[in-house]
Amino acid sequence: MQILDGKALAAKIRKKAADDVASLKNKGITPGLAVVLVGDDPASHTYVKMKEKACEETGIYSIVHKMPIDISEAKILETIEMMNQNPNIDGILIQLPLPAHIDTQKVLNTVSPEKDVDGFHPFNVGNLVLDIDSFVPCTPLGVMKLLEEYDIHPKGMDACVVGASNIVGKPMMHLLLNKFATVDICHIYTKDLKTHTSRADLLIVGVGKQNLITKDMVKEGAIVIDIGINKTDEGKITGDVDFENVAPKCSYITPVPGGVGPMTIAMLLVNTINAARKR
């Protein structure tokens, strides 16, 4: 069994990102990322702080628009329009979730597709489905980079994605399909999860439920990628896979923390730099 070390790969990617930013700066371009953060959700604030710090370390200019929880939708849209027009901003990120009174899709649709570094705009989603080069959501993109780093090629594999959200599971499914894997996608209404997971050569899980995937649900020699982030009662971070018991059965597995998480932030930097290159 080999660990897929996302932390190490992310550090390597971030180092290269800093070099790329330095050469862009030599050409007079400082990549810029704007973040919209609404409300007081502690997890969202933590994620945004991590993103800000990563930008700072890489030399990317970043600005966070913090808004109160009762902000109007019109005000959010106005702020996005302003950033769409701002030539110093290459990437716009809407930290999710937004409060219930806001139409999330309408907000995401307002971000210019050229600045949509999260890959959530329908234009970029469509490009992903058609396998046209464009912005791809950072977490599934990070998973693909991690597989690539370890010379793992999904072509011809039976893959199973557990979790079907717009930001994790669905783009993951399309990326794997674009690489010619045969993909099963499971969700809360899947009748018998184990039937699907246990035949997968490549099992990718992003649900948010500790120990959802147990040893009996995994094929011998499978590659297991755990996207889930859960906090135990003791305050420990874990994924969705029962790592201790599943790992001995795997050919490769990601740890949590230190697997997919660091890759997500690294991919945000890469997407922002790529947006700046197109200025």
105 catalytic, yes or no?
no
231 catalytic, yes or no?
no
Q: Are 65 and 79 in contact (CB under 8 A)?
A: yes
d(CA 257, CA 278): 33
CA nearest to 132, candidates 113, 109, 156: 113
Q: Which stretch binds ligand NAD (CB under 6 A): 33-41, 87-95, 162-170, 268-276?
A: 162-170
Using CA of residue 145, residue 146, residue 152, residue 154, what is the dihedral sign? negative
Task: State yes or no: residue 190 binds ligand NAD (CB under 6 A).
Answer: yes
CA nearest to 208, candidates 150, 163, 158, 177: 163
Cβ at position 24, least distance to ligand NAD in Å: 25
Residues 134-153 binding ligand NAD (CB under 6 A) are: 139
Nearer to ligand NAD, 110 or 139 (CB): 139
d(CA 95, CA 116): 12
Question: What would the 3-class secondary structure string for 144-176 be?
Answer: HHHHHHCCCCCCCCEEEEECCCCCCHHHHHHHH
* The one catalytic residue among 90, 95, 115, 219: 95
CA nearest to 72, candidates 117, 44, 106: 106
d(CA 166, CA 54): 24
Residues 198-227 binding ligand NAD (CB under 6 A) are: 206-209, 212, 227
Cβ at position 183, least distance to ligand NAD in Å: 14
Q: Are 66 and 41 in contact (CB under 8 A)?
A: no
Contact with ligand NAD (CB under 6 A) among 93, 162, 181, 217: 162
Contact with ligand NAD (CB under 6 A) among 260, 267, 268, 276: 260
Cβ at position 267, least distance to ligand NAD in Å: 9
Counting residues that bind ligand NAD (by CB under 6 A) gives: 24
118 catalytic, yes or no?
yes
Task: State yes or no: residue 50 binds ligand NAD (CB under 6 A).
Answer: no
Nearer to ligand NAD, 114 or 116 (CB): 116
CA nearest to 14, candidates 48, 49, 60: 60
Contact with ligand NAD (CB under 6 A) among 28, 42, 188, 191: 188
Task: State yes or no: residue 167 binds ligand NAD (CB under 6 A).
Answer: yes
Give, rounded to a whole angstrom, the gap between the first and last alpha carbons of the chain.
Answer: 44
Task: State yes or no: residue 228 binds ligand NAD (CB under 6 A).
Answer: yes
Tell me which residues touch ligand NAD (CB under 6 A). Answer: 139, 162-165, 167-169, 186-188, 190, 193, 206-209, 212, 227-229, 260-261, 264
Q: Which residues are catalytic?
A: 51, 95, 118
